[in-house]
């Protein structure tokens, strides 16, 4: 795999980590008992007498649905068709065999103890989990190729009944995958507006994979940890400024001011230079614009994918402009090598772990933390 393809996948994973969008809709109680989400804005679950209806909101189109899922409580139930143009998929309540494209959701199944329901994965070579690598090596799960161009034949051979994918705006469908007969689960959780909003989607996946109670308990723990950590951070007097990422070619992709990363930086008790930006995804800027707003950043966080740890010397050789950033001159840059660190696998559904580490970086005296994701550059 070439360097540019690795960088593209890293950038894509970063976009998934920081992206967000949409407004929360209240469930219609007349339709059944609504399972209210406290933080997630793009999903509604309605528990009816004979079925559970899951509505995935379209993050890119206001007041529209992306997908509707119907989970019957018994095999005799046949839902009536709704002529509203929304893709509707009926998913029987059975023990599923799933092909999972986003590595984030593979990690979640491991957290929920449901990895035995994995039939296959995409982008295996970029998955850090030793357990998943072992299952693939022993042919317990299939390597279904790249998520952007999956091996449809391999997918069919797994006899999977579900495939989890990341939806995109104006994607025009999923090509040959649409014709396989495998139910497509559109994982729009990455479009949420807050770390806890995205993590709360585990309640849906728990329902889907038959471990609803375990998912609810795990989310309750994540929420408790996150809120307590944020409360500790906001008691600190110092408010350091945090800059993230670096140039990809001639463009610097910074998280928008309404992104999950921007929200997490605020919860760290820090200042984000682009907090006034109203976009929810990543914003493409030239170096000059970044320096204009973030030259005085106290802390600089960089995610990268490389065989060796990133160093200050490499940064300066890459672009002399980096030396103009305060965090660089003060040697306060932290790197996360996504080739060996499980940031993109774990943080979306365990944001409490990432928050703790970022608080340790921003407020070293407030609490201690191991370097699980980031580490100081040499």
Name the β-bridge partners of 251: 248
Which CATH number fits the domain that encloses residue 309?
3.40.50.1980
105-144: string of b/e by CB count within 10 Å (b at 16+)?
bbbbbbbbebbebbbbbbbbebbbbeebeebbeeeebbbb
Q: Which domain holds residue 49?
A: 34-91
Residue 96 lies in a domain: no
Residue 60 lies in a domain: yes
Q: How far apart are CA 3 and CA 367, in angstroms?
A: 37
Looking at per-residue pLDDT, the higher value among 268 and 22 belongs to 268
What tens digit of pLDDT does each residue of 16-36 get? 555 544 333 333 334 678 888
Q: How far apart are CA 12 and CA 153, in angstroms?
A: 25
**pLDDT of the residue at 4:** 44
In which band, very low, low, confident or very high, does the pLDDT at 78 lie, cut at 50, 70 and 90?
confident
Residue 325 lies in a domain: yes
Residue 360 lies in a domain: yes
Q: Do residues 373 and 344 lie in contact, with contact meaning Cβ atoms separated by under 8 Å? A: no
Residue 119 lies in a domain: no
**pLDDT of the residue at 17:** 53
Is residue 233 helix, strand or coil? helix
- Give percent of the chain above pLDDT 90: 81
Domain boundary among the residues 91, 106, 124 is at 91
What tens digit of pLDDT does each residue of 202-222 get? 999 999 999 999 999 999 999
Does 98 have pLDDT greater than 80? yes
Residue 53 lies in a domain: yes
**pLDDT of the residue at 14:** 52
Does 263 have pLDDT greater than 70? yes
Domain boundary among the residues 43, 73, 91 is at 91
Domain boundary among the residues 42, 64, 91 is at 91
pTM (2 decimals)?
0.89
pLDDT (mean) for 278-301: 96
Residue 217 lies in a domain: no
Residue that has been written with the tokens 């080739």 in this structure: 339
**pLDDT of the residue at 170:** 85
Residue 65 lies in a domain: yes
Looking at per-residue pLDDT, the higher value among 246 and 30 belongs to 246
| Domains of the chain: total | 2
Does 330 have pLDDT greater than 90? yes
């Amino acid at each position: 795999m070439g360097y540019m393809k690795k960088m593209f996948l890293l950038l894509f994973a970063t976009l998934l980590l920081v992206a967000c969008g949409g407004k929360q809709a209240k469930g219609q109680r007349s339709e059944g008992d609504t399972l209210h989400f406290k933080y997630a804005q793009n999903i509604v679950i309605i528990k009816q007498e004979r079925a559970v209806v899951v509505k995935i909101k379209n993050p890119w189109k206001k007041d529209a649905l992306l997908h509707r899922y119907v989970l019957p409580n018994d095999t005799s139930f046949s839902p009536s068709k709704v002529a509203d143009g929304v893709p509707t998929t009926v998913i029987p309540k059975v023990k599923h065999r799933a092909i999972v494209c986003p590595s984030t959701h593979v990690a979640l199944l491991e957290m929920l103890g449901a990895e035995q329901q994995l039939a296959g994965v995409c982008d295996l070579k970029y998955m850090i989990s030793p357990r998943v690598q072992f299952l693939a090596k022993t042919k317990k799960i299939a390597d279904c190729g790249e998520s952007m161009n999956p091996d449809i034949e391999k997918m069919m051979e797994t006899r999977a009944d579900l495939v989890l994918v990341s939806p995109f705006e104006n994607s025009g469908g999923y090509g040959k995958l649409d014709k396989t007969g495998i139910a497509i689960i559109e994982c729009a959780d990455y479009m949420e507006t807050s770390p806890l909003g995205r993590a709360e989607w585990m309640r849906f996946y728990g329902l889907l994979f038959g471990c609803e109670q375990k998912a609810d308990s795990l989310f309750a723990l994540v929420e408790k940890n996150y809120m307590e950590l944020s409360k500790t951070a906001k008691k600190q007097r110092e408010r350091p400024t945090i800059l993230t990422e670096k140039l990809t070619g001639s463009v610097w992709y910074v998280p928008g001011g309404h992104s999950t990363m921007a929200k997490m930086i605020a919860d760290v008790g820090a200042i984000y230079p682009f907090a006034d930006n109203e976009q929810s995804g990543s914003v493409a800027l030239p170096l000059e614009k970044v320096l204009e707003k973030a030259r005085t950043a106290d802390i600089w966080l960089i995610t990268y994918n490389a065989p060796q740890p990133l160093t200050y010397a490499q940064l300066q050789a890459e672009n002399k402009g980096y030396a103009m950033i305060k965090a660089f001159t003060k040697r306060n840059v932290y790197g996360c090598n996504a080739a060996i660190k499980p940031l993109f696998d774990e943080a979306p559904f365990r944001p409490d772990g990432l928050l703790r580490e970022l608080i340790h970086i921003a407020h070293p005296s407030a609490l201690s933390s191991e370097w699980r994701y980031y580490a100081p550059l040499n």
